[in-house]
Chain A
């Protein structure tokens, strides 16, 4: 764990340095830009709350990817599951009008099942026809993208607006705000806690973990891998679906707008990767990514570095953190082998009573 924190810091620092150089080469003021990046994401209550709100979908898509990868289910369909989840709550939110205490739980249930349903298609194709979920989920992403685009620019369009979007959902489905902090954040943290509990303290979580480490071992040990695989895919999809839903229920617009998915799906995949599929790590990196994305707006405002720069910064952070983790792993291994070798040698010498060449060691 300590090793992981150290390598994470090394990776992040190297990535920031690389970002520093890129900005400097393009004639921006990197120091001022970084200061604004932090100042607009952390240094005031409003900034901090904006970051936390931004983190909510990232935590969920990150968890979705992490739990899949850690169990050996390569779900890359967060984008599609996100869109279907968002579309599900939009559709229900438009036609159903109930008071908030009933409506919000209903919509959350809709979101979870819509995402699980969409991931379930890929799981079905895998179990039934042995189709690799890694490609099917990707293709399903595109299908979901086109399908939702069709709905919001045709049957469900708000004709008063100039770009494709649905009308606003009914008032009862809007998430409450607590002094600027959206309910979505608490929901995401709750989901994180639930997943943490399942992962670490239940039998099924243990079975998933074993399946991810060694599927054959899990099978020999008596786990039903197929059933567990389907469950993991459903849970993973449900989390991504919930992420989509909170962008509608807890967003500014309370409707499905074109481009609502931004890059949340792939950000989630990156977060899971950089956190090495750990649950707590996923939460922390989701906060870090949210901080970058929130701060980027301020950076653009103050030092005119285009906010898209953080997309670059995120990708190089992933590369450097993972690279430093894996090379550190190799380095530690080499060092420990050397140390052990030395110990063995000195023991040999002691047993022979010969220490003439000890000085050369």
Chain B
């Protein structure tokens, strides 16, 4: 029982960054922007969060810094991809590399360390004990006492669902994704709709980064996003953007990552347990592609 609760808790913890990043990617998915910069946005967010929290001794500043980091990456994406018409794939790769190089550089430049920066002065995101529920034996353990961003992420899934499907702006995003020129022709600036969707995705990925470095663990390590941005992208492609589906799928991936962590105490070498989430992505993609393929001729190879 204890083990099961632990597994479920680590599922939820591991699902949160993937969920947040994937929700961010939802906006760009619907506005038809090939956003592969989520990995980098997350990494910048994670670094900035540790920086802010460490320098000012406050998680609030850390949070703000992290969000600002995500926004900064989004702005670079907007300037190059939307306004300078640079290829989105290229921009995304460059931002990821900029994030990896930039955070590694600043890690040495500011903290004078290589690899990882840990300090008791990094203030973590506070956990939230839900007032009444917390004292119920099993249920309280299951749903209470997470860093509050976990609850924010759950709420965000609902909000994004509402925003994309039920508001005027959501309609504009989807319309831009369908056909940007038509949107322009009715007097809505599709470039600014695209920019705003990238902006939202930067904020959510930044938040995912904050959770990684101030909630999931309490440190910053080189390349600590470790493929979560890619997994988030895979989740979006698998679910075709539906925010509530993304919530479910993220939990599935969280479960596998949690399972990997739980198995770490056993005889299986840790390198194999760490493979689990990436293998799970491949398996999920297999089922998705097989389903999509039925009755359809094998799709032609597409150019970048």
Contacts and interface: CB of A to CB of B under 8 A. Distances in A.
23 contacts: A72-B304, A73-B301, A127-B298, A130-B289, A135-B285, A139-B285, A142-B275, A143-B275, A147-B271, A147-B275, A149-B271, A211-B301, A212-B303, A229-B301, A266-B96, A306-B105, A306-B108, A308-B104, A311-B97, A312-B102, A322-B87, A322-B90, A326-B84
Contact of A225 (B230, B271, B279, B301): B301
B58 interface: no
A129 B290 contact: yes
A69 B293 CA distance: 24
Interface in A11-39: 26
A261 to B, nearest CB: 12
Interface residues of A, number: 56
A4 B10 CA distance: 51
Contacts of B105: 306, 308-309, 311-312
B272 A150 contact: yes
Contacts of A156: none
A286 B97 CA distance: 16
Contacts of A215: 300-303
B18 to A, nearest CB: 14
Interface in A252-280: 263, 266, 269-270, 273
A-B residue pairs, 3 tightest by C-beta: A311-B101, A150-B271, A315-B98
A43 B82 CA distance: 41
B90 A273 contact: yes
B94 A270 contact: yes
Given A131-B289, A311-B101, A327-B84, A138 B90 contact: no
Given A26-B109, A213-B303, A323-B86, A130 B274 contact: no
Contact of A216 (B84, B109, B300, B304): B300
B101 A308 contact: yes
B51 to A, nearest CB: 14
A141 to B, nearest CB: 8
Interface string B76-105: 100010001111001101111110111011
A319 B80 contact: yes
B75 interface: no
A326 B302 CA distance: 21
A136 interface: yes
Interface of B: 76, 80, 84-87, 90-91, 93-98, 100-102, 104-105, 108-109, 227, 230, 233-234, 237, 269, 271-272, 274-275, 278-279, 281-282, 285-286, 289-290, 292-293, 298-304
A96 interface: no
A330 B278 contact: no
Contacts of A158: none
B110 to A, nearest CB: 10
A207 to B, nearest CB: 12
Nearest to B227: A142
A139 B231 CA distance: 8
A153 B304 contact: no
Contacts of A150: 269, 271-272
A327 B91 CA distance: 14
A231 B277 CA distance: 29
B88 to A, nearest CB: 11
Interface in A223-250: 225-226, 229
Interface in A138-179: 138-140, 142-143, 146-147, 149-150, 153-154
Contacts of B80: 319, 323
A67 B5 CA distance: 49
Contact of A312 (B101, B230, B300): B101
A14 to B, nearest CB: 12
A308 B101 CA distance: 6
A136 B227 CA distance: 12
A131 B93 contact: no
Contacts of B96: 266
A146 B109 contact: no
Given A69-B304, A312-B105, A323-B80, A138 B230 contact: yes
B29 to A, nearest CB: 14
A314 B289 contact: no
Contact of A266 (B97, B230, B301): B97
Contact of A129 (B86, B87, B293, B300): B293
B285 A132 contact: yes
A330 to B, nearest CB: 6
Contacts of B109: 26, 306
Interface string A303-330: 0001011111011101100110011001
A16 to B, nearest CB: 15
Nearest to B299: A130
Contacts of A130: 289-290, 292-293, 298-299
B233 to A, nearest CB: 7
A130 B230 CA distance: 19
Contacts of A3: none
Nearest to A68: B304
Contacts of A327: 84-85
B237 A312 contact: no
A136 B104 CA distance: 27
Given A142-B278, A306-B109, A311-B100, A131 B300 contact: no
